[in-house]
A and B are shown apart, each in its own frame.
Chain A
């Protein structure tokens, strides 16, 4: 047993059941408690020793026989294969176990360890996530659209994500995500969120991922596949749709879960607003030079085991094709997403089946015409055993002739991917993924295979459903 039981453990509760003064058991005067604890310990130890002595068989117990070992091996495998043991990864996120600062060595430990733990309790949650992948592509020029995708044959550092978060005061919390990648360091997200606005309102301000669809506001750590959907890469950006701005959300008082999101964000950035201003350095002159987003998200608990989330979003903003007339050409993005999850609460299997589908429609004004394209991503992920998960994903994204953003992408592109993931614990995962990508403008399909590793240290906050 790694932890010695403290002397207080063996003492009975006060007969009146009252909590100790101050509410903190360790803050009580120690003398009487220790004395009573020692006495009780001695008594318990004596009883235990006596009991053990009387229970000892005359000769040492024999080691398990070969047949018994076989039965145990089958049982452990049975529990795992049937997924009957606990997969230690909650669906909504990771249960973090923050690591406290080290206790000074030696027996002086306890008091100063606790003192340090108290100090450490003020630290923000800090975690570091490493995503690396080994990849193989059948083509020297694969068409991966995500900035953190495995994108070449050989090894790729997808990202090293430093996440820090903490309450600022009773009114705000700060969330930051700093990403180290092969191309440098970026502030992926850094925003303050309100904690105590009335009437079901919440405010976010800073740099954040826009809440367009289900996939976009999330980080690779929670993705079911090693790469970003091509739909998100094409319509939103290699880093997703994100920018500086502010967001107001409202949890309506309706009898079911219905949340309304409105946000306004800068429309520039080749990585993160490519359907809008993208890389163009244009000045903001009116509110219409910013990207405006609205979203309605609803949740329906069909029963204890089945859940359904449905979202509708629209992002409207200027694009960079004004040809001298700044901000005059517009882009409209409409999206809908559906997430159905089956997780039987009563079963000890704790397996889960999730189906997620997103569709986006984009309309762009460019000089002389209007471009219209759309796409769909649908994936099914089945957590079938203690540490194992499989998933398939299908994608279809249309194209238009002479697209200023993607000149080659003149007609539809399809990709099918499959993944098989092993979770040694909920802080590490090893994912094998294969895909067939069929861009209609290429002669041959692009085949790809990845082996992606993710490890996480530190305290990482839990994720939304």
Chain B
């Protein structure tokens, strides 16, 4: 009897951490994961599906990615069809009614940001890989990060009312910090001579960052989103760089670099490789600053 009782007690203790488990959050992309970690604090356990080293358009929907989704209470997605090629089979396969599209456990970050480049006329695939809802790469902009943090705080508070105060307080503090960071950096970039505030991108994925920092994108290395550059188009890019005086080509780590490097050499400029997302242990602010510093250093040279 005593033995049984002690066994039951041991079992109970073993199960206790499961009962006291934090809010289970799954984020599709590293930046969203970093924001969720900051807002969730110790009250949430955050898992990120995609690696910061890979292009978020192209992630293999490996069945192992369904495992964290099985028990998730909140799924945070970027939206605007960025994850369209790999997320639907994962949601379907995870068989978790709590994170289906349209539920409270499904948070589409694009609902909370100020979208850019929203098509105002009919789109066609002849235009390349365009996103009909607007440019989806908004997590590069800390101001949009602030909006997402706020939305995350509110949603986490709804899902886990016991820790609502903490979520809301952390979200508010983070949003304030991010907006202050954005203002500071905008002012800092404004001090650069106007001639230096011009950038060429590889893909049209840094639009939000430029909007935040007051930079102008003069052209892109890709002729159309997702269409690889041809020699004819790169010649046009080179001419544009020379005409506008833009010297810096910015791109995320997962895009090819040979064309950009050649262009930079010919235009006597340089390539800046920006982070594609927050590292596994990195804060969102640190990741934004990492990119901003690299860009500033290149533009100021």
Contact = CB atoms under 8 A, between A and B. Distances in A.
Interface of A: 2-6, 8-13, 15-19, 23-26, 44, 47-48, 50-52, 54-57, 60-64, 68-69, 71-76, 78-80, 82, 84-103, 109-110, 113, 117, 167, 170, 193, 195-198, 200-202, 251, 253, 255-257, 259, 299-301, 304, 307, 309, 341, 343, 345-346, 348, 350, 386, 425, 427, 457, 461-465
A54 B229 CA distance: 29
Nearest to A427: B125
B62 interface: yes
Contacts of A91: 58, 60
Nearest to B256: A84
Interface in B147-176: 147, 149-151, 175-176
A196 B106 CA distance: 14
Contacts, number: 299
A79 B256 contact: yes
A5 B238 contact: no
Contact of A88 (B57, B119, B122, B143): B57
B231 interface: yes
Given A5-B117, A63-B239, A256 B60 contact: no
A251 B132 CA distance: 34
Interface in B254-281: 254-259, 261-263, 265-266
Interface stretch (B13-21, B38-46, B97-105, B289-297): B97-105
Given A3-B117, A86-B228, 10 more contacts: A13-B143, A64-B266, A69-B235, A91-B58, A95-B57, A97-B125, A97-B132, A170-B103, A300-B64, A301-B62
Tell me whether chain A's interface is mostly helix, strand or loop, or mixed.
loop
B235 A63 contact: yes
Contacts of A255: 67
Contacts of A51: 194-195, 197-198, 216
Interface residues of B, number: 98
B233 to A, nearest CB: 9
Contact of B150 (A18, A26, A301, A350): A18
Nearest to B229: A76
A117 B64 CA distance: 35
B150 A94 contact: no
Contacts of A100: 122-123, 132
A61 B243 CA distance: 5
Contact of A257 (B66, B150, B176): B66
Interface stretch (B4-12, B26-34, B78-86): B78-86
Q: Which 9 A-B pairs have the closest CB atoms?
A: A95-B85, A51-B194, A17-B146, A61-B242, A17-B175, A13-B143, A84-B256, A55-B245, A196-B97
A68 B57 CA distance: 32
Nearest to B151: A19
A64 B146 contact: no
B95 A462 contact: no
A18 B171 CA distance: 10
B114 A196 contact: no
Contact of A72 (B146, B147, B211, B234): B234
14 contacts: A5-B116, A19-B151, A68-B235, A75-B263, A80-B228, A95-B84, A98-B132, A103-B120, A109-B120, A200-B95, A202-B95, A257-B66, A346-B51, A462-B61
B85 A90 contact: yes
B178 A17 contact: yes
Contacts of B119: 2-3
A90 B235 CA distance: 30
B164 to A, nearest CB: 17
B179 interface: yes
Contacts of B266: 64, 68, 71-72
Contact of A57 (B243, B253, B257): B243
B228 A17 contact: no
Contacts of B150: 17-19
A88 B129 CA distance: 9
Contacts of A93: 61, 85-86, 89
B234 A462 contact: no
A85 B251 CA distance: 13
